């Protein structure tokens, strides 16, 4: 059986604390991703999206602590996989950046991460008898369902439900395992992909699918996509991600 081996974070003398030069196009795409996710109602004043550095897998890019809809190129910060900012220069960073760093460590196949509190997804994080599953072909990436991360299993009762350190980030990554989305009880979700544009697509359609599933459940028991249908739909539909990206980018540009 194929297994995903966590990415080693051992640093050599040429790698320690040094940000890797980054192509301006990637930074601009990350800015656009923030604006799209805000415009599509996945992120609001909170939540965040990151991308792994394509030339250095031990680095990722994430903006400073701010509302996603206001992000510009100068707000992007580079981090190592321990989620230490390498060029913050006094700028405040997200408390939950460990979500990103620990998933990148555990999943070398992941190139982008979105953490959100999208409103239709949150109910599925608190009702275990109604798992989030794909009801439409656009959300086939959900497979047979999304696991739920229960933070109280890690640190007991009384937490603020935030993933604010590496051990909690590691626990979240374990719950995600090889799947594309993990729910976070009473909090939101985290979705991953092997491409920045694709992770934006998945985050948007996770919210759309959740809303559709909630509507279907009011009518009766839905017939969900089978595991084979979900896989086939994902293989086909996700070749068309750029179509959605271009439309959403235009809409976000009009808002901004």
Q: What is the DSSP string of 39-102?
A: HTTS-SSS-EEEEE-SS-TTEEEEE-SS-GGG--GGGEEEEETT--BSS-TT----TTTHHHHH
What is the side-by-side order of every strand in the sheet holding 76-80?
76-80, 59-63, 48-52, 112-116, 188-193, 181-184, 148-149
Ramachandran bin of 238, using left for φ above 0, alpha for ψ from -120 to 50, beta for the remaining angles: alpha
* Domain ranges within the chain, ordered by starting residue: 24-255
Q: Identify the CA nearest to 96 among candidates 125, 123, 65.
A: 65
Map 70-84 to HEC letters.
Answer: HCCHHHEEEEECCCC
pLDDT at 18: 85
pTM of the model: 0.94
For the chain, residues with pLDDT lower than 70 are 1-5, 7-16
Kindly list the distances between the CA atom of residue 94 and the CA atoms of 6, 46, 67, 115, in Å, as whole numbers in the listed order. Answer: 23, 10, 11, 11
Residues 50-63: tens digit of each pLDDT? 999 999 999 999 99
**Does 96 participate in catalysis according to the annotation?**
yes
Out of 55, 96, 207, 254, pick the active-site residue: 96
Give tens-digit pLDDT for 127-143: 999 999 999 999 999 99
Q: Look up the CATH architecture of domain 24-255.
A: 3-Layer(aba) Sandwich (3.40)
Alpha-carbon 164 to chain mean position: 16
């Amino acid at each position: 059986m194929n297994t995903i081996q966590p990415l080693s974070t051992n640093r050599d003398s040429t790698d320690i604390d040094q940000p890797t030069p980054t192509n301006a196009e990637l930074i601009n795409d990350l800015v656009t991703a923030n604006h799209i996710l805000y415009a599509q109602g996945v992120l609001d004043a909170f939540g965040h999206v990151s991308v792994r550095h394509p030339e250095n897998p031990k680095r990722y890019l994430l903006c400073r602590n701010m509302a996603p809809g206001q992000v510009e190129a100068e707000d992007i910060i580079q981090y190592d996989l321990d989620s230490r900012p390498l060029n913050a220069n006094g700028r405040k960073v997200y408390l939950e950046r460990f979500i990103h760093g620990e998933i990148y460590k555990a999943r070398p196949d992941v190139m982008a991460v979105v953490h959100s509190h999208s409103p239709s997804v949150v109910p599925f994080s608190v009702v275990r008898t109604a798992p989030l599953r794909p009801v439409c072909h656009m959300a086939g990436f959900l497979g047979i369902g999304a696991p739920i991360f229960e933070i109280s299993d890690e640190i007991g009762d009384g937490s603020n439900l935030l993933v604010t350190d590496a051990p909690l980030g590691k626990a979240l990554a374990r719950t995600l395992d090889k799947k594309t989305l993990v729910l976070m009880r009473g909090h939101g979700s985290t979705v991953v992909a092997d491409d920045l544009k694709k992770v934006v697509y998945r985050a948007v359609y996770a919210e759309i699918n959740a809303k559709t599933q909630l509507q279907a459940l009011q009518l009766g028991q839905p017939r969900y996509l089978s595991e084979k249908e979900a896989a086939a739909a994902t293989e086909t539909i996700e070749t068309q991600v750029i179509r959605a990206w271009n439309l959403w980018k235009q809409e976000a540009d009009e808002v901004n």
